[in-house]
Amino acid sequence: MKDSVESIELGEDGKKRPRTPSPSRPMACLRNKFIRVGLAETLCTYVMMVVTGHGAFGQYFSINLGFGLGVTMGVHVGGTVSGAHMNAAVSLALCVFGRLDWKMLPVYVVAQLLGSFLAAATIFTATAGIFATYPAPYLSLHSGFIDQVFGTAMLLLCLTALSDQRNKAAPRGCEGVMAGLLVLLIGVSLGSNSGYAINPTRDLAPRFFTAIAGWGSEVFRAGNGWWWVPLVAPLVGGVLGVGLYKALVELHHPALACDQNGHREQEEMVPLEKHQLQ
């Protein structure tokens, strides 16, 4: 009965007419934020990985260009839903500095692992190619750890700068292109040592798939037990990179003026929950 009453309205002439339906979400729309974010993060990570997976058959610059373009496409796939982290180091750093709820971290990590694993399976099925990072013969574990910490720190430092609205932030709509160019820059300058994983989930999931596909435990013994370096070092580097930018740049921005209502004119950095998880 209530629905019948609410479905009609009085017109200007006093006659009853059907109420104009208000715009609503599609019936199949998922309203659970955890599911929406998880699905978007899985898909954008998959796109990033499957696009760049063919790089093993290219030249050094084309491989890095492919990774950069893959990141750009991934950002466009999941950007306004999950933020398109595609990297556990990014998700962890955002949690550490209060831009992402800790309860969301498992959702991102699981989604990134799943997307990377599925991409590895796709590449193997389509081309018999496999990918995970391994150190160059001259690179020790100690040097490789520093390499991964530094590369990931540069990634997160620059991404933080690109999102700082009180600095030279990336123009709205160009975030994906700028992120792709940043990955290309890091790859060209730092990628020769160990393939610049700078991403724990991007390396670990394909490594597990490689083990399942027939290479066995050798994928964890190769490179003097290299597997843990791209897993741990990027997490350290990501937090370090964001911390450096905040300590040396963001904390020293002049105080923001307030309007008559006492509100700040603009936010220094758009919080992830407000800007990206819509």
- CA–CA gap between residue 244 and residue 250 (Å, rounded): 9
Determine how many CB atoms are found less than 10 A away from the CB of residue 127.
Answer: 12
HSE of 176, CA atoms in CB hemisphere, 13 A:
18
User: What residue type is assigned to position 5 of the chain?
Assistant: V
User: What residue type is assigned to position 162 of the chain?
Assistant: L
- DSSP assignment of 71-90 equals HHHHHHHHHHHH----SHHH
**What pLDDT shows up at residue 257?**
60
**What pLDDT shows up at residue 25?**
59
CA 49 to chain centre: 12
- CA–CA gap between residue 273 and residue 173 (Å, rounded): 18
Determine how many CB atoms are found less than 10 A away from the CB of residue 28.
Answer: 5
> What residues form DSSP beta bridges with 16?
10
217: left (phi over 0), alpha (psi -120 to 50) or beta: alpha
**What pLDDT shows up at residue 154?**
96
In which residue ranges of the chain is pLDDT below 50?
Answer: 1-10, 56, 271-278
- The SS3 of residue 10 is strand
- b/e map 214-253, b = 16+ CB within 10 Å: eeeeebbeebeebbebbbebbbbbbbbbbbebbeeebeee
Helix ranges restricted to H, the chain? 2-6, 33-52, 60-82, 88-96, 105-127, 141-162, 175-190, 200-210, 218-225, 229-248, 272-275
- CA–CA gap between residue 250 and residue 141 (Å, rounded): 33
Return the DSSP state at 198: -
Structural contact between residues 100 and 273, judged by C-beta atoms closer than 8 angstroms: yes
Closest CA to 74 of 34, 38, 40: 40
User: Cα torsion for 108, 109, 114, 117, to the nearest 10°?
Assistant: 140
**What pLDDT shows up at residue 263?**
56
